[in-house]
Structure 1
C-alpha cells in the first residue's frame, strides 16, 4: 500500500526544475507527422509474413521522438537507470515493455503538470504500424535510405561497427523524416502484442491487443545484429518482460485515444 501511495504521489507531483529542463528538451525533439499532407503518405502497406497484405490508413496527426529515450531523461522521470552501458545521452536499455509503458505514463503526467502538453495529449509507445510508417519515411526500400547494405554504417550501429563504441543518441545520419537510430543501436518496443496474422491488423494503425499475451514486438534491430534485422520491416517476437542491453524504446506524442 505504501509503495502504491508513493507512486501515486510521484505521478501527481509537479516536476522539479531539473526534470522540467530535460522534459523541455524531450518535447522540443518531437517531429510532427501529418499523414496525407506534404511528404507524409496517408497509407502504409503491411504484411506479417503470411503472404497477405493490408492497407493501413493513418487519419490523425501525431509526433514521434527523433531519438530513443536517453538515460538522463529516463532517470529523471522514474528515478532509476537500469542501463548496462552508462551515459546520460546514451539510449536507456535493459527496460521491459511494462517499464517503458510506465515511463510514458509518468512522463505524460509530468509534462501536463509543466504545461508542455495538453490534458488531451499523452506520451506513449508507438503502435507497430506507426513504427514502420515513420521508419520507412515514405520509402518502399529495404532501409529508409535505400537498398544498399554498404550504406548501413552511415545510418546505424550494428554488429559490424559497434565494437568499442558506446555512443550517445544521434551520432549517425537520420532517416528522411529526421529520426535517428531507427535502424540499429537498440531494438525498440512497440505497444502491440505479438501477432502473425495480417488479417488481424487494425486498419487505422492501432495496436494489436490480445488478452493475456506474453509476447510483444520489437523493431529496428540493434548493435548486436546483422544487416537483415535492421530493415524497415523486420519483426522480432519478444517476451514482454525481456530486459536486454540491446533493447530500448522511442516515444510518440499524440492526442489521447477516445473510447
Structure 2
C-alpha cells in the first residue's frame, strides 16, 4: 500500500447489517445510510501531526496509534475536523473533564467521528457473509503471525471495499456503549488485535473497555457522514 493511501477515506455504500449480543442472545438488524470510513486505522504519524503527541509504546509513523482512550479518539476527531475546516462532530460538555457521558454527537455535523458499531461491521464484511473477508493470514496480523508486536498499517490484503486492517493489528474504538445495563459507560471495541488468538479476529467479535482506559492493542479509525 502506498503511504498516501493511509489518509484515504473510502465511500461505503448503504446497507443492512445484523448485530448480535452474546449475553442477551439477541440479534437485531440496522439499516445504514452511505458514509465514509478511513482506509486504515489512524497512524502514529497522523496522530502526532494533529495533536503533537505520540502515545503508547509502538514507534514509527506508519504503525497504528495505540494507547489511546475512547475520549482521546473523540478529541482527535474534533481536532482533525477543525484542522480541515469541518464542523466538529462532538460536543464535549463542560465542567469536570474526562466524563464520557458528557460527550454528545451532533449528527448534523460533517466532521470526523468514530464509526458506529453497525457501520464498522458493515464496512468490515464488505458484502461478504463469512466470519472473515478472506484467509486470516492474508488479511490480518494476529498472535499466530505477528511476532507478538504491532505492524505498519496496510501490510496485509484489504477487504473487497479497499479497507485495510479491519481485522487484527489493533482493536478499534466505536461510538457505541457496549451494554449500559451491565457495564455502564464502557464502549465497544471491534476487529481483534496483534496479540489475539485467530478465533478472536472475526467480523462479529465484540470487546469492551472503559472510555478512559488506554491499552497497547487498541486504536481507532475515523468516519464521516455523507451529506446530500
Q: TM over 0.5, yes or no?
A: yes
Does residue 62 of structure 1 match 2:35? Answer: yes
SS of equivalent to 1:100: helix
Q: In structure 1, what is the Cα distance between the partners aligned to 2:26 and 2:171?
A: 25
Aligned 1:163-242 pairs, distance under 5 A: 163=147, 166-195=150-179, 213-242=184-213
Which is helix-richer, 1 or 2? Answer: 1
- For the aligned residue pairs, the C-alpha RMSD in angstroms reads 2.4
Which residue in the other structure is 1:45 paired with? Answer: 18
SS of equivalent to 1:121: coil
The answer to whether the 8 A contact 1:71-1:83 is kept is no
Which residue in the other structure is 1:33 paired with? Answer: 12
Q: In structure 2, what is the Cα distance between the partners aligned to 1:62 and 1:102?
A: 20
The answer to whether the 8 A contact 1:120-1:255 is kept is no
The Cα of 1:240 is off from its aligned counterpart by 1.3
Give structure 2 stretches of 5+ with no counterpart. 87-107
TM-score by length of 2: 0.82
The Cα of 1:52 is off from its aligned counterpart by 2.6
Pick from 80, 85, 92 the counterpart of residue 107 of structure 1.
80
Cα distance change of structure 1 residues 52 and 108 upon mapping to structure 2, 3 Å threshold: same
TM-score by length of 1: 0.72
CA displacement 1:87-137 (0-9 Å, x = unmatched): 011110000000000000000111117xxxxx9511000001111110111
The answer to whether the 8 A contact 1:220-1:230 is kept is yes
Q: How many residues align?
A: 203
Which residue in the other structure is 2:146 paired with? Answer: 162
Residue range with higher mean Cα deviation, 135-144 or 159-168: 159-168
Q: In structure 2, what is the Cα distance between the partners aligned to 1:98 and 1:120?
A: 18
Runs of 4+ in 1 over 2 A off after TM superposition: 24-27, 49-53, 164-167
The answer to whether the 8 A contact 2:180-2:186 is kept is no
The answer to whether the 8 A contact 2:188-2:206 is kept is yes
Which is strand-richer, 1 or 2? Answer: 2
CA displacement 1:233-255 (0-9 Å, x = unmatched): 00002111121111100110214
